[in-house]
Amino acid sequence: MERLTKRVDRLEQDTHQIKTDLAVLTERSQNFATKADVEGLRTDQFKLRCEMLEGFARLETQTAAQFARHDTSFARIEKQTAEQFARHDTSFARIEKQTAEQFARHDTSFARIEKQTAEQFARIEKQTAEQFARIENQTAEQFARIDTKFARIDEWTKRADENFVSIDEKFKRIDERFDRLNDRMTWTLLVPAVLAVLGWLAREFWLKM
């Protein structure tokens, strides 16, 4: 009996709990969406999607038009830039050609001047060599004559030494005087000759310059 009573009590408790849960579910069910609400939501979503697709299409069309305008602008700028570079290339080619022609003329002028200068220096060198050769020959002849004279004097001095031993010192002094005379004559002949040659070379060089 007690067991049955406990079961009835639990059954009443369970029934009460079921009523409570049913009341809560009934209260919540008022906020549930109906089939009509779901269809309306789907309709709204479809409209929103259509509007979004239309907006994207319109935006894509505008973007394409803007890119087309930009492409046209870039093409025009590229064409103008190419024309400007072509004009600059033509100018640079003309300047390069003129510069090359000027350098060619200058090279020709320098070659002609170099040739003339080489010829002038060759003539001067030849004339100088001939003059120095003549001076050297003349000087050699003069020294030869002087040497001959001194040789004869030496022979006469030797004979005088053999005959006049007592005047040996006098002849030595005479030899010293002749040596100084020889040096003086050498400088007297060479210095004016060298100065004359240098003066003639300088005059020829300045006249031809």
What local confidence, expressed as pLDDT, does residue 132 receive? 79
Structure tokens at 67: 């890119």
Which phi and psi angles does 23 have, rounded to 5°?
A: -65, -40
Average pLDDT over the chain reads 78
Tell me 30's DSSP state. T
CB 146 within 8 A of CB 197: no
User: Over 60: is that where the pLDDT of 179 sits?
Assistant: yes
Tokens 């009590």 — which residue?
Answer: 9
Grade residue 169 by pLDDT with cuts at 50, 70 and 90. confident
Measure the CA dihedral 126/127/131/136, to 10°: -10
Q: Which helix (H) or strand (E) holds 46?
A: helix 35-163
- The mean per-residue pLDDT over the stretch 66-84 comes to 85
- The mean per-residue pLDDT over the stretch 171-199 comes to 74
What local confidence, expressed as pLDDT, does residue 8 receive? 63
- The mean per-residue pLDDT over the stretch 50-71 comes to 83
Structure tokens at 69: 């305008």
Grade residue 148 by pLDDT with cuts at 50, 70 and 90. confident
Per the model's pLDDT, the better-predicted residue between 204 and 119 turns out to be: 119
- CA 174 distance to own-chain centroid: 78
pLDDT in tens, 23-47: 776 676 666 556 666 677 778 778 8
What local confidence, expressed as pLDDT, does residue 2 receive? 61
User: Over 70: is that where the pLDDT of 180 sits?
Assistant: yes
Rounded-to-integer distance, Cα 183 and Cα 150, Å: 13
User: Over 70: is that where the pLDDT of 118 sits?
Assistant: yes
CB 203 within 8 A of CB 149: no
pLDDT in tens, 89-104: 888 888 888 888 888 8
Rounded-to-integer distance, Cα 160 and Cα 175, Å: 13
